[in-house]
Structure formats: C-alpha cells, structure tokens
Amino acid sequence: MPSAKLIEKRKEFEAKQDAMHAILKEAGPELDMNKVTSIRGDSKAKVEEIQKKNKELEDLGKEIDGLVALEKTAHLDEERQKAISQKGEAFQFPASPQTETKDFGKMFTDSAAFKTWTDTKQKGHVAELNIDLKTLFQTTAGWAPETIRTGKVVDIATRPIRIIDLIPPGRTNQTAIVYMEETTFTNAAAEVAEGSVKPEAALALTERSSTVRKIAVWIPVTSEQLEDVEGIQSYLNGRLTFMLKQRLDLQLLAGNGVAPNLMGLLNTVGIQTFALAGDRFDAIYTAIKNVRVTGQADPNQIVMHPNDWQDIRLARTDDGLYILGNPSEPGPVRIWGLPVTESTAETENSVLVGDFLNFCQLFEKKGIEIAITDSHDTYFIYNKLAVRAEIRVAFPVYRPAAFCVITAF
C-alpha cells in the first residue's frame, strides 16, 4: 500500500499533467500560441510558462520516482526476510536491485576445465620445446622503432542496453514463475438497513505462469590465445556478457513467446493499444490516462525510438519557438513528467507507456554462467577451445493492461 505522501504527490502530479494538457489542447496540433487563452502574454511568454510548468512536472516526477524506489526497497527487504524464514521458498529476492555477477576472467581461470587443461601441460602431456632462432642481423634492413599498443579496444557501434534497467529483478529456483491472477472481482459492498440481506461479493483466481527460457552464445578460441589470460579476460567478460544482455534487452520488448523465445511486452495479450490520430503530445497523454483508468496503474516510464523522441524534442510553435526548451539548453528527458528511455529495440513509430515497476519482473534462475571445453568437434586435436556463456530467465507481465502502445506514431 503506497504511503500517504506518495498518494498525495501522485494526485498533485496528475493535476499538473491535466493542467499542462489543457494548455497544449488549446494550442492544437499546430502549437499555435495565439489560440492559448489560459496564459496571458505574447507567444514567447506563453512558451516560457509552458516550459516552467513542464519543469515543475519533471521535478515532481523525480520526487515520485525517489519515493517509489524507497518503498520498493523496503518491500523487497520485507519479502526477503519472509523467504529466509520459510523453507522451500520458490524464489528469493536479491538484497538490492542490482543482480550479482561474477567476473568472467575469475570464473574462467577457476573453472575445472581450464585447470584440467593447464594441469595436463604441467604433467608433461603436452610437449613444449623452446629454441632460440638465430637470424642474421642486417643493417640494411634498418632498425624499426618499437610500437606498443595502448591496450584500448574500441567496441563496434551496436545497440546499447536500455530496457533491462527499467524492470525490477528477482531470483527463482524453479523452471517457471507461477502466480495467481485475480480475474473476477465483484465488489457488492453497499449500505444496508438493519435486518436486511447483505450483498454477496465474488472473487475468482486464475493460475498464470511464465516459463524460464535460456539465452546463450559461444565463441571458439585457440589454446595459444588463452595462454595470455590476463590480456583477454576483461575483453571476453565485457563482450560475451554484453551479447547476452543485448539479446535479452530485445526479447523483453519484442519476444514472440514461441519457445524458446520470451514473451515480450509488445506481444503480451491484453496490453492496451491505439493508433495515433492527431497530436503526438496528446497521444502520449492519452496513453498515460489509459494506463491509469483501464489498467488502474501508475505509469512510470515511456519507451520510444530515438527518431520518435527527436520529433517530440524539436517540436516548435507556429512562430518557431521550441516547446521543450531552446537548443542552448540541455532540455528535458521527460514528457508529461515521466522519464523517457530512448531505445532502438523499440519499433520506430511506436511508443510504449507503462507501469514497469509494479506489473512486470525479470527473474533469473542463475546468473551468467561460463563454461569451456575442448570436446567440441575436432577442437582437441587442433588446440581449440569453445567458450560458452548463457543465462536462464523468466519474464512475467502481471497486468498487461498496465501498459499501452501508441502505433503509427
């Protein structure tokens, strides 16, 4: 149950959103400030007032985010203590929102496979012969200056991870997350006279489940390359882990649910959706209201493609003034007070609004696991090793109606 302060701030937040929407509604799709009658002054003064109100929404939104995070931490701690006190608990919540990960280099050098491989070398199963090769020194060849690399590796340009950070984490030791959803709620509570029949309520629950799925990747490496463990462990740690998380990031949005895929938010049955018809600002506001009214949830995040956010950020009045701030200013990363996450994993011309904190969760059955072997194919006789990374997760969406998609944006 939210605290009284959080409820009060959310009501204030909604009131400010309504006031802001009324102003932009007056301006219309063309953002004509001459049509705005609720604010006095010329076009510049009206835009400045809109920016001021938007800044108030942004600050209030950040304050609400802080209160929600604080209450969420307290709730997780309470659930963790319950899990500790009960044997056979299906899952345990982590001590903090950050999932514990192990260093790949340490996991690799401590692995049984690697130790076995190095032991066989020490026991003489692999013959080595180091011979100094003498080569005639020729002055005519010159003495080329030594060039040493800095050690910096510039990663290829690829989609960054954004969506994982929006979703609360969890842990499980089961093969599926099973929970009960209240599918019937008939509130017959009413005032009755003395001696009269009391009204009967009705409740019904339906079992739901989200299956644990696996995401994996592997890379072939020669044994010669792996001899310099110190030089490659941080690189492999970063890239293999990134590959898994990048794929998971996409699955959380667009997974189709057909095994072994996760069911992503955009394909979840019951999610709200409507096509843009008119102003983009109005459409986002409508999605927020849909989440509140139909989903009975408090939206806390907006996800859109960077190209779509560009259109919002660069919106101008009919006389050329920027609605969300001049180019010389940093500008907001929020709209209607809600934070905006830009991700190319989101389909272009589509915007997702939802309550990510309360109605979806990412469970890990285990963290990222690393394994190494020379048993693959002919790897043993060619001194090759296969390094595999994998993770097993489940992604239940508890209330689909707590999310709304705007299409044709």
Q: What is the pLDDT of residue 161?
A: 95
Using CA atoms, how far apart are residues 385 and 406, in angstroms rounded to an integer?
A: 47
Length of the chain: 409
Asked if 232 and 265 count as a contact pair (C-beta separation under 8 A), the reply is no
Kindly provide the residue ranges of all beta strands, DSSP E only, lying in 39-109, ordered along the sequence. none
Q: What is the pLDDT of residue 94?
A: 47
Angle between helices 4-27 and 280-293 (to 10 degrees): 150
What type of residue is 383?
Answer: N
Domains of the chain: 101-122+154-191+198-305+343-409 (3.30.2400.10)
Q: Count the helices and strands in the chain (H runs, E runs).
A: 9, 12
pLDDT per residue of the chain (409 residues) written in tens, 0 to 9 = 788 888 998 899 999 999 989 998 888 888 889 889 888 889 888 888 888 888 888 899 889 888 888 887 877 777 767 766 665 544 444 444 444 455 555 665 666 656 665 665 555 554 454 545 555 555 556 676 777 877 788 889 999 999 999 999 999 999 999 999 999 999 999 999 999 999 999 999 999 999 999 999 999 988 888 776 667 777 777 899 999 999 999 999 999 999 999 999 999 999 999 999 989 999 999 999 999 999 999 999 999 999 999 999 999 998 899 998 888 877 678 999 999 999 999 999 999 999 999 999 999 998 899 888 999 999 999 889 898 999 999 999 999 999 999 999 9
Q: What is the pLDDT of residue 74?
A: 79
- Counting Cα atoms < 13 Å in the Cβ hemisphere of 212 gives 18
Binning the chain into helix, strand and coil, the percentages to the nearest 5 are 40, 20, 40
Using CA atoms, how far apart are residues 58 and 63, in angstroms rounded to an integer?
A: 9
Q: Is 257 exposed, middle or buried (0-12, 13-18, 19+ CB in 10 A)?
A: middle
Angle between helices 306-313 and 280-293 (to 10 degrees): 110
Three-class secondary structure of residue 220 per DSSP: strand
What type of residue is 396?
Answer: P
Q: Is the bond leading into 145 cis (omega within 30 degrees of zero)?
A: no
pTM listed for this prediction:
0.78
Q: What is the pLDDT of residue 31?
A: 87
If you write DSSP's letter for every residue of 105-127 in order, what string do you get?
A: HHHHHHSHHHHHHHHHHHTTSS-
Q: From residue 404, how far is each of 121, 210, 269 by CA, in Å?
A: 59, 21, 12
Using CA atoms, how far apart are residues 154 and 176, in angstroms rounded to an integer?
A: 39
Q: What is the pLDDT of residue 136?
A: 58
Using CA atoms, how far apart are residues 52 and 41, in angstroms rounded to an integer?
A: 15
Say which DSSP state 196 is in.
Answer: P
Q: Quick one: tokens of 240? A: 């293999």
Using CA atoms, how far apart are residues 309 and 317, in angstroms rounded to an integer?
A: 17
What type of residue is 311?
Answer: D
Element holding 229 (H helix, E strand) = helix 229-254
